[in-house]
Chain A
Amino acid sequence: MIDPATIWAALIAVAVLAYILLDGFDLGVGILYPLVKSEQDRDVMMNSVAPVWDGNETWLILGGGGLFAVFPLAYATILPALYAPLIAMLLALVFRGVAFEFRWRSKRHKHLWSAAFAGGSILAAFAQGVALGALVQGIEVEGRVYAGGWFDWLSAFSVMTGLALVVGDALLGAAWVVMKTDGGLRQQAQHFAWRFGALTLAAIGLVSLWTPLLNDAYLARWFNWPNVILSGVMPLLVLACAAALIRGLRRGPDALPFLAANGLFVLCYIGIGISFYPYIVPHSVTIWNGAAPDSSLWFLLAGTAVLLPMILGYTAYAYWVFRGKVDPNEGYH
Chain B
Amino acid sequence: MLDALTALELARIQFAFTVSFHIIFPAFSIGLASYLLVLESLWLWKRDDAYATLFTYWKKIFAVAFGMGVVSGIVMSYQFGTNWSTFSDKAGPIVGPLMGYEVLSAFFLEAGFLGIMLFGFNRVGARLHLFATAMVAFGTLFSAFWILSVNSWMQTPAGFAINDAGQFVPQDWWAIVFNPSFPYRLVHMVLAAYLTTAFVVGGVGAWHLLRNSQDRGARIMFSMAMWMAVAVAPLQIVAGDLHGLNTLEHQPAKIAAMEGHYETHENGAPLYLFGIPDDESEKLSYSVGIPNLGSYILTHDWTGKVKGLEAFAEDKRPPAEWVFWSFRIMVAVGFAMLAVGLWSLVQRLRRRLYFDTWLKRAAVTMAPSGFIAVLAGWITTEIGRQPYTVYGLLTTTESTSAVGAPAVAASLVAFIVVYFTLFGAGTVYILRLMAKPPRADEADEPEGPTRASGLTPAPSVAPHKVFSAE
Binding site for B on A (CB under 8 A): 39-40, 43, 50-52, 54-55, 57-58, 60-62, 64-70, 72-73, 75-80, 83-84, 86-87, 90-91, 93-95, 97-98, 100-102, 104-110, 116, 144-146, 150, 292-293, 295-296, 299-300, 303-304, 307-308, 311, 314-315, 317-318, 321-322, 327-333
Give B139 Cβ to nearest chain A Cβ, in Å.
11
Query: Is chain A's binding surface mostly helix, strand, loop or mixed?
Result: helix
Question: Would you call B68 an interface residue if the criterion is a C-beta within 8 Å of the partner chain's C-beta atoms?
Answer: yes
CA distance A69 to B98 in the complex (A): 8
| Partner-binding segment picked from B116-124, B193-201, B318-326, B346-354 | B116-124
Name 13 A/B residue pairs within 8 A (Cβ), A-sorted: A54-B67, A68-B80, A68-B95, A73-B89, A75-B80, A80-B401, A83-B411, A100-B67, A296-B94, A300-B96, A315-B108, A330-B460, A333-B444
- Whether A90 contacts B74 in the complex (CB less than 8 A), given A69-B99, A322-B115, comes out as yes
Q: How far is the CA of A323 from the CA of B95 in the complex (A)?
A: 38
Complexed CA–CA distance, A107 and B449 (Å): 11
Interface residues of B (CB under 8 A from A): 63-64, 67-68, 70-75, 77-78, 80-82, 85-86, 88-97, 99-105, 107-116, 118-120, 123-124, 135, 163, 165, 167, 169-171, 173, 401-404, 407, 411, 414-415, 418-419, 422-423, 425-426, 429, 432-433, 444-448, 452-456, 458-461
- A64 and B78 form a contact (CB under 8 A): yes
Q: Among the listed B116, B402, B419, B423, which residue makes an inter-chain contact with A321, where contact means beta carbons less than 8 Å apart?
A: B116
B100:A98 contact, CB within 8 angstroms = no
Q: Are B460 and A329 in contact (CB under 8 A)?
A: yes
Residues A107 and B118 in contact, CB atoms below 8 Å apart: no
Complex Cα–Cα for A79 and B76 (A): 13
Of all chain A residues, the one with the shortest Cβ separation from B120 is A321
For B91, B419, B433, B447, which residue has the most chain A Cβ atoms within 10 angstroms? B447
Residues of A within 8 A of B101 (CB): 300, 303
**7 closest A-B pairs by CB:** A72-B92, A51-B115, A69-B96, A79-B81, A97-B71, A76-B89, A76-B85
User: Is the pair B88, A68 in contact by a Cβ cutoff of 8 Å?
Assistant: yes
The answer to whether A318 and B116 touch across the interface, beta carbons within 8 angstroms, is yes
Does B460 contact A105, Cβ atoms closer than 8 Å? no
Give me 19 other A-B pairs in contact (C-beta within 8 A), A64-B77, A68-B99 excluded.
Answer: A54-B115, A57-B70, A58-B107, A66-B103, A69-B100, A76-B85, A86-B78, A94-B422, A104-B445, A150-B404, A292-B96, A295-B171, A307-B105, A311-B112, A314-B113, A318-B116, A329-B456, A329-B458, A332-B118
Closest residue of chain B to A82, judged by CB? B82
Does the CB pair A58–B108 fall under 8 Å? yes
Determine the chain B residues whose CB is within 8 A of the CB of A77 once the complex forms: 85
Using CB atoms, name the residue of chain B closest to A47. Answer: B119
Q: Is the CB–CB distance between B118 and A51 below 8 Å?
A: yes
B381 CB → nearest A CB, Å: 22
Q: Which residues of B contact A39 (CB under 8 A)?
A: 452-453
Assembly CA distance A129 to B123 (angstroms): 37
Minimum C-beta distance from A250 to chain B (A):
31
Docked complex Cα distance between A83 and B83 (Å): 9
Q: Given A86-B78, A299-B173, A300-B101, are A94 and B71 also a contact pair (CB < 8 Å)?
A: yes
Report B415 CB to chain A, min CB distance, Å. 7
A101 B63 Cβ-Cβ under 8 A: yes
Known contacts A61-B74, A61-B77, A295-B169; is A72 also within 8 Å of B458 by CB?
no
List residues of chain B with CB within 8 A of the CB of A76.
81, 85-86, 88-89, 92, 401
Q: For the complex, what is the distance from the CA of A76 to the CA of B455, rounded to whole Å?
A: 49
- Determine the chain A residues whose CB is within 8 A of the CB of B459 once the complex forms: 329-330
Q: Are B119 and A332 in contact (CB under 8 A)?
A: yes
**CB-based contact A331/B458 at 8 Å:** yes
Which residues does chain B contribute within 8 Å of A108, judged by CB atoms? Answer: 447
Q: How far is the CB of A57 from chain B (nearest CB, A)?
A: 7
Q: What residues on A are CB-neighbors of B108 within 8 Å?
A: 55, 58, 62, 307, 311, 314-315
A98 and B426 contacting across the interface, CB-CB below 8 Å: yes
A106–B415 Cα distance when bound, in Å, is 24
Once A65-B77, A87-B82 are accepted as A-B contacts, the answer to whether A54 and B70 lie under 8 Å apart by CB is yes
Known: A61-B74, A69-B97, A331-B458. A102 touches B112 (CB 8 A): no
Give the distance to chain B from A115, nearest Cβ to Cβ, in Å.
Answer: 13
Given the known interface contacts A54-B115, A64-B81, A76-B86, the answer about A328 and B455 at a Cβ–Cβ threshold of 8 Å is: yes
